[in-house]
Amino acid sequence: MPVAQGRVAGGKVGAMTDARFLTWLAAAASALPAPVFAQAGAQAESAVPLTAFAVVAVAGAMFVAVVAIGLALFAMLSTRGRARRAAARVAELERVLAALSAELESSPTGRLVWAAGSGLETCSRSLARMLGAPAMSANTLADLAPYFAPGEFAVLDEDSRALRAAGTPFDLALRTAEDRVLLARGRTVGDPGAGAGSHVIWFDDVTYFRDEMAALRDEATAAIRQRDRLQEILDRAPFPAWQRRADLSIVWVNQAYATAVESDIATVVETGIEFVPGSGPQQTRSLAQMAVQTGAQQSDQRRFAAGGDRRTYDILEIPLAGGETVGIARDITGREDAMNELRRHTDAHADVMNRLPSAIAIFGPDKRLRFFNEAFSRLWRLDEDWLDTHPGHGEILESLREARRIPEQADFPAYKASVIELYSSVLETTEEQEHLPDGRTLRVVTAPHPFGGLLFIFDDVSDRLELERSRNTLAAVQRATLDHLFEGVAVFGADGRLKLFNRVYAAMWRLDESFLRTEPHVSDVAERCRDLFHHGGDRDDWPTVKQKIVHRALDRTAHMERLRRPDGVVLEVASVPLPDGNTLYTYFDVSDGIRLVRPEPGAPVSGG
């Protein structure tokens, strides 16, 4: 029916003009049931009166016509509204399409499109600009061939054919004739097989990124080279090193680590062999776990068998970002052995110094007591438990002052400051004496300590000074006694040097006392007395006489003899060997007694 056709083809009705609608309405009126009116006319002609049925039929026909006209009017009005809305939507879509087209044209990305239905090939103006081609002459792929570097377009053409034929996507980096780099990406959009898609090649200028990528490639190459160099350095390092993951499992070790655990690197990483053996993986990782928890480096010393020897290692675990750690093991066996040896030497020295009678105290650079022996605590009568607390030098001085065990000072702060100043002023060993209030005299030796600070040695020299005084007194008495004797006295040592003499001896042999105090040799003494051993002016036999004098001075045999000198002096000489190896000579002038006897003239001088 016409009304049904109008509903189905609503688009066509919406496109009708008012005149065409009136024509259509007339056609709808003509669709009224004509047989009814024809029958009525025939009945009229036959003068048959209208029946009730005929009236109902006419009324029904008129009602149907009115309904049809109403429906037609409603369909026309609703169709015209939809048409207006559709026209507005189409206009909006056209504006959006125009905006998208403008954006695509202004985009730095170029494109080449093959429409699947029409086969139309389109090249964007941005692609033409990218290749440096005139916009009007670049419409198809073939038009772009002169703008690519030799050999590049052939690859693009081959991949584009595969794209259009089988929808095979591709990604290519192509060089243009202007030495630029384009990234071409071929893709299929929609369903070209159904005529509702297209094939598109997108082009992006990545020349800038080429330079950046080249720089990044150089940096990456340098970083890889540096990594390999560090890897080689760590593998050649003499100490074991390792790295742990966040779960504390081992991810890398160096060659020293593998050698220490008697394995190879791959096996160590695969099986997770820990550096410290025999204590379980959890315990060996405890140091690393503590480093991760505290965020600070942790260290510990472990002694165990490594490489067949028992070694001592200082193990360090250093936390890294992300919960990882790096570990280093330093072999300190030599240092530990040296420290133990030094400790033994120190203990031995301390034991030796404790046995010395001298009081010894060592103060460190911080002016605190580092060592003292038993003689020190006894000398100053200080509590050893208190001294073990390493008191300062100033504290010790204060304690001794309170007990009146150091010399009285008019200005104690100044005295204390002068003692403390020794730490910066003493460069060599110094020695001095201190007289204590209790009558004792101390010899104090102060010396800089090799490790910093000062070394003090205290000796009670009271008895020695008393002995020296007694000895000096005795020596003075002996000297006065010898100087008042009538005999000349001389003592020659085993080495032939003069050890002792008196004034009579010096005068008897006409010798200067200052010369004799230098402990001259007997040969030098004889040379000084040469004129007193000759007679008759004969000097040719002097070497023989001198040798005889030296021989008799060194002879430890006791003897007596008489010596006649050319000047007329006659001496009685006696030699007596002493217990200490020296020889005592006494000379007695008997010249007067000899003259009384009147010896014969020209009697020879005997002896030497």
Question: Do 327 and 243 contact (CB within 8 A), yes or no?
Answer: yes
Question: Do 533 and 541 contact (CB within 8 A), yes or no?
Answer: no
Question: Do 556 and 583 contact (CB within 8 A), yes or no?
Answer: yes
Tell the residue number behind the tokens 């002068």, with chain if given.
418
Instruction: Give the pLDDT confidence of 267-316 residue by residue, as tens digits.
Output: 989 988 888 876 655 566 888 888 999 999 988 888 777 766 778 888 89
Instruction: Give the pLDDT confidence of 585-608 residue by residue, as tens digits.
Output: 999 988 887 777 655 555 444 443
Q: What is the pLDDT of residue 413?
A: 92
Predicted confidence band of residue 390 (pLDDT cuts 50, 70, 90): very high
3-state secondary structure 29-53: HCCCCHHHHHHHHHHHHCCCCCCHH
417 vs 367, 398, 407, 421, 437, CA distance in Å? 12, 12, 15, 6, 21
Q: What is the pLDDT of residue 104?
A: 59
Give all strands of the β-sheet with 325-331 in edge-to-edge order.
Answer: 250-253, 241-244, 325-331, 309-319, 298-306
Q: List, in sequence order, every residue forming a beta bridge with 315; answer none if it has no partner.
A: 300, 329
| Diameter over CA atoms, the chain | 240
Q: What is the pLDDT of residue 234?
A: 85
Say if residue 348's pLDDT is above 70: yes
156: tokens are 């693009």
Say if residue 135's pLDDT is above 90: no
What pTM was computed for the model? 0.40
Predicted confidence band of residue 10 (pLDDT cuts 50, 70, 90): very low
DSSP 8-class letter at 511: -
Q: What is the mean pLDDT of residues 513-535?
A: 86
